[in-house]
């Protein structure tokens, strides 16, 4: 079905004053953070209350109109790309922190609240919300649930799924239900976990209870520069082997260091082949003891510069370079593709070398910024979208990186989601039977297939057309052939 005049008339009744149909205003919503993919929505609704969301969903359900939920629109895989014949359900008006429970260390928030706003709202209680995607100033917590977002602190504190206790959800047919509970576990299947990272395919999240942590007594950030990428990669493994579990462990290669330094003046060593940023938190005595061991590991692996920052301003400065790496890279090339593969940490050096070789072969620059502690890579492929040949090359380059990640026993997406961007690579990572099960899961929640159709899980037909072979633990069909 599509957005018909009679549907619009009904929509205007249930969502009075909250409907956008003017083509010019609709184009504001045509893309999310994946700007290479654009689609003007059929119509936009910006509801204000849960019951209004329910009414909109009931209406869409009876008219069989597709619905795409949107938070802040910062997603990087096109998960919130609109449907041309559907409703774009914007949750930006759900922007309040409803309550903070300090005794149980939880906060009840609406889905449109930004990630950073939660931590700001509870800071005066000595608490914070741990997951911190680099877009935290803008991205919404509802979107974080949909994508199961990570961030620089997830090695120690986990992803969104590890920090959410309860969800209130509106079903495709407009029913309101809860998953999770006030306690630490709830009866039945773990649908709370299933909802995380489901990319708006299973339900509309309208309220979220997040767990809060006490602000650490003390925090220290260490910046280490290396002459060789390999040394930095080795150091990552050895820090973990030493029994140190840093709050964050990030790595950047030389192109990323240069871009970030030019953008943020964080004091990074611009001649280094790689830098590691390592954050330790806990009580002061604990950090002092860990710092000695950490520095020994860094030096043993060839760190040429080591800088420590204890006070808030110095720490923020060091993080600023890393957190502004994406916009910084945006300044050195007209466009970039941000990849999101995850690999076992031991493969770091090898995969980075392979990416450098691909970069030469495709004739496109690449800057690497990543969550080294988690093995989550973010190669940024630099290109110019105005040159169709470059766009095509960039897409092939990205696809090749993702295929390599699967071959190394990893995954095509660690935290950005599949969206519309990585549908083809899903055919590589999963077998036909596994994809069929995913479709069956979707069907259990959304029998009419109205929520975010065409995203996250490719149809078997698409995979057949893509001609993909499922890569299983690096066992490709022709292992004897060299793969560049």
Partner 1 sequence: MVDSDLIKQLADEVREQSAIARPIDIVGGGSKAFLSSGRLENSYQLALSEHRGVISYEPRELVLRARAGTPLAELNALVDGEGQILAFDPPDYGTSTLGGTVACGLSGPRRPFTGSVRDFVLGIGAITSSGVYHEFGGQVMKNVAGYDVARLMTGAFGTLGVLADVSLKVLPKPEREVTLMQEVTHDNLRSRMRGLRNSGAPLSGLMASQNILYIRLSGTEIGVRAAAADIGGEEVMGDHWALAATQRLPALVSAKQLWRISVSSDNPMHMKDAALVEWGGAVRWLSDPESIPRLESAPSWLFRNEEDGGPLERMPPLPEYVKRLHQRLKKAFDPICIMNPDRMYRGL
Tokens describing residue 49: 């209350």
Q: Is the C-alpha dihedral spanning 72, 73, 79, 83 positive or negative?
A: positive
413 lies in the site for partner 1, by CB under 8 A: yes
Q: Per CB under 8 A, which of residues 29..68 are in contact with partner 1?
A: none
Minimum separation from the CB atom of position 244 to partner 1 (A): 7
Binding mask 181-220 for partner 1 (x = CB under 8 A): xxxxxxxxxxx-xx-xxx---x-----------x-xx---
- Of the ranges 50-58, 67-75, 177-185, 220-228, which one interacts with partner 1 (CB under 8 A)? 177-185
By CB under 8 A, residue 162 contacts partner 1: yes
> In the window 330-389, what residues touch partner 1 (CB under 8 A)?
342-346, 371, 373-376
Long-range contacts of 267-271 (CB under 8 A, 24+ apart): 267/223, 267/307, 267/317, 267/318, 267/321, 268/223, 268/225, 268/321, 269/225, 269/304, 269/305
Rounded to a whole number of angstroms, the minimum distance from the CB of residue 176 to partner 1 is: 8
Q: Residue with structure tokens 């066992």? A: 475
For partner 1, give the closer residue by CB, 41 or 248: 248
Length of the chain in terms of residues written: 484
Stretch binding partner 1 (CB under 8 A), from 3-11, 157-165, 296-304, 309-317: 157-165
- SS3 at position 85: coil
> Applying CB under 8 A, does 291 fall inside the site for partner 1?
no
End-to-end CA distance of the chain: 45
Report the residue from 53, 76, 109, 154 that binds partner 1 according to the rule CB under 8 A: 154
Inter-residue contact 276 to 226 (CB < 8 Å): yes
Residue 286 binding partner 1, by CB under 8 A:
yes
Query: Treating both helix axes as pointing N-terminal to C-terminal, what angle do 312-323 and 325-332 enclose, rounded to 10 degrees?
Result: 50
Examine residue 441 and tell whether it contacts partner 1 (CB under 8 A): yes
Q: Does 474 bind partner 1 (CB under 8 A)?
A: no
Nearer Cβ to partner 1, position 44 or 355? 355
User: What tokens were used for 203?
Assistant: 């339900």
CA dihedral 150, 155, 158, 159 (to 10 degrees): 10
Indicate whether 23 belongs to the interface with partner 1 (CB under 8 A). no
Piece of 111-119, 172-180, 328-336, 358-366 that binds partner 1 (CB under 8 A): 172-180
- CB of 134 within 8 A of CB of 112? no
- Report the distance separating Cα 271 and Cα 267, nearest Å: 12
Residues 420-439 that bind partner 1 (CB under 8 A): 422, 426, 429-431, 433-435, 437-438
Minimal CA–CA distance to 113: which of 196, 17, 206, 193?
206
Is residue 440 close enough to count as binding partner 1 by CB under 8 A?
yes
- For tokens 């939920």, name the residue: 69
Q: Write down the residue that tokens 């969800």 correspond to.
A: 167
Q: Which of 2, 237, 317, 454 binds partner 1 (CB under 8 A)?
A: 237
* Residue with smaller CB distance to partner 1, 63 or 438: 438
Binding positions for partner 1, 91-150, rule CB under 8 A: 101-106, 126, 147-148, 150
Residue 322 touches partner 1, criterion: CB under 8 A: no
């Amino acid at each position: 079905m599509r957005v018909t005049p009679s549907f619009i008339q009904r929509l205007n009744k249930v969502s009075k004053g909250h409907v956008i149909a003017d083509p010019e205003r609709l184009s504001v919503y045509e893309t999310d953070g994946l700007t290479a993919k654009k689609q003007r929505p059929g119509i936009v609704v910006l509801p204000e209350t849960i019951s209004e969301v329910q009414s909109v969903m009931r209406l869409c359900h009876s008219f069989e109109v597709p619905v795409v939920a949107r938070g802040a629109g910062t997603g990087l895989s096109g998960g919130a790309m609109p449907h041309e014949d559907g409703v774009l359900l914007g949750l930006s008006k759900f922007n309040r922190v409803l309550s903070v429970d300090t005794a149980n260390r939880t906060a009840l928030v609406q889905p449109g609240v930004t990630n950073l706003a939660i931590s700001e709202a509870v800071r005066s209680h000595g608490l914070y919300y741990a997951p911190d995607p680099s877009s935290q100033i803008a991205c919404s917590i509802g979107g974080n649930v949909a994508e199961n977002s990570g961030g620089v602190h997830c090695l120690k504190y986990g992803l969104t799924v590890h920090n959410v206790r309860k969800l209130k959800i509106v079903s495709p047919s407009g029913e309101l239900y809860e998953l999770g509970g006030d306690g630490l576990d709830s009866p039945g299947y773990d649908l709370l976990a299933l909802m995380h990272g489901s990319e708006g395919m299973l339900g509309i999240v309208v309220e979220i209870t997040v767990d809060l942590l006490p602000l650490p007594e003390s925090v220290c950030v260490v910046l280490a520069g290396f002459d060789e990428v390999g040394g930095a990669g080795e150091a990552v493994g050895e820090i973990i082997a030493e029994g140190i579990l840093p709050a964050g462990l990030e790595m950047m290669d030389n192109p990323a260091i240069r871009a970030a330094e030019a953008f943020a003046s964080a004091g990074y060593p611009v001649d280094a082949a790689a830098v590691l940023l390592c954050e330790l938190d806990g009580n002061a005595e604990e950090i002092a003891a860990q710092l000695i061991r950490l520095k020994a590991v860094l030096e043993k692996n060839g760190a040429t510069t080591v800088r420590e920052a204890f006070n808030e301003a110095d720490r923020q400065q060091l993080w600023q370079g890393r957190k502004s790496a994406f916009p910084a890279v945006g300044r050195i090339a007209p466009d970039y593709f941000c990849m999101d593969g995850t690999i076992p940490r031991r493969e770091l050096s090898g995969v980075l070398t392979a990416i450098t070789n691909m970069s030469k072969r495709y004739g496109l620059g690449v800057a690497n910024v990543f969550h080294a502690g988690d093995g989550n890579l973010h190669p940024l492929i630099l290109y110019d979208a105005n040159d169709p040949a470059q766009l095509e090359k960039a897409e092939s380059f990205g696809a090749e990186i993702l295929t390599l990640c699967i071959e190394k026993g990893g995954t095509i997406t660690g935290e950005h989601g599949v969206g519309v961007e990585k549908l083809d690579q899903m055919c590589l990572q999963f077998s036909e039977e596994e994809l069929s099960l995913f479709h069956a899961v979707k069907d259990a929640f959304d029998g009419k297939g109205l929520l975010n159709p065409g995203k996250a899980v490719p149809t078997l037909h698409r995979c057949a057309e893509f001609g993909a072979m499922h890569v299983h633990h690096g066992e490709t069909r022709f292992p004897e052939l060299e793969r560049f």
